[in-house]
Amino acid sequence: MTDMTTTPEGGGEPHTSTRKAVRRGGGDPSTRGRTTIADGVVEKIAGLAARDVIGVHAMGGGFARTLGAVRDRVPGGSKSVTRGVKAEVGEVQTALDLEIVVDYGVSIGDVAGAVRENVVAAVERMTGLEVVEVNIAVSDVKLPDEEDEPEPRIQ
């Protein structure tokens, strides 16, 4: 690139200087580098999306729920949103296994379909990964007269 300027003394003589154009990086900045998403991130997103569906009473099997109930009551403990969710995450795809407890009286097929839709939409929107499958195992039905979680023996 050539720059034509005059000398500051006003002599009017053109002064020529050559500057090299510096090109930084190459291409679209969003394509520079890799983004990896941990299994736990996808599990959290899927767990929250599944819990949002009406008819899903809880996530996880009996033992996991019992253990989780005790852990939730420990001071400083927090609810595990990944309980009942297992994800396998690749570079562009993910597969999920969910274990749910449904409320008595709901259509299990309808609830499973709604969970699948909600989980796929949330995971794909937030991560950009293609969800190739969402396997759902219904491990229990919550009856109206059942207690939610067993009381821990340790207070």
Lookup: tokens for 112:
């499973």
The tally of domains found in the chain comes to 1
Of residues 69 and 19, more confidence is placed in: 19
* 16 confidence band (pLDDT: 50, 70, 90): low
User: Percent of the chain having pLDDT more than 70?
Assistant: 66
Domain contains 39: no
Q: Domain of residue 130: give its range.
A: 49-71+81-142
Interatomic CA distance for residues 122 and 115, integer angstroms: 11
Average pLDDT of the chain is 81
Residue 58 pairs in a beta bridge with 101
In this structure, what CATH number is given to the domain that contains residue 128? 3.30.70
Residue 146, pLDDT score = 78
* Sequence-ordered alpha helix ranges (H) in the chain: 39-51, 62-73, 108-127
Query: pLDDT (tens digit, 9 = 90+) per residue, 76-126?
Result: 555 589 999 999 999 999 999 999 999 999 999 999 999 999 999 999 999
User: Percent of the chain having pLDDT more than 90?
Assistant: 57
Domain contains 106: yes
Domain contains 87: yes
Residue 138 pairs in a beta bridge with 100
Residue 3, pLDDT score = 52
Buried-exposed string 113-150: b where 16+ CB fall within 10 A, e elsewhere: ebbbebbbebbeeebebebeebebebbbebeeeeeeee
Residue 106 to residues 40, 45, 52, 60, 84, Cα–Cα distance (Å): 29, 24, 15, 18, 20
Residue 91, pLDDT score = 94
Domain contains 96: yes
* pLDDT (mean) for 144-153: 63
Domain contains 135: yes
CA angle 60, 62, 66 (to 5 degrees): 95
Of residues 64 and 80, more confidence is placed in: 80
Domain contains 43: no
* 12 confidence band (pLDDT: 50, 70, 90): low
Residue 65, pLDDT score = 44
Domain contains 110: yes
How many CA atoms lie within 13 Å of 123's alpha carbon, on the beta-carbon side?
32
Of residues 39 and 80, more confidence is placed in: 39
Domain contains 59: yes
| pLDDT for residue 152 is more than 50 | no
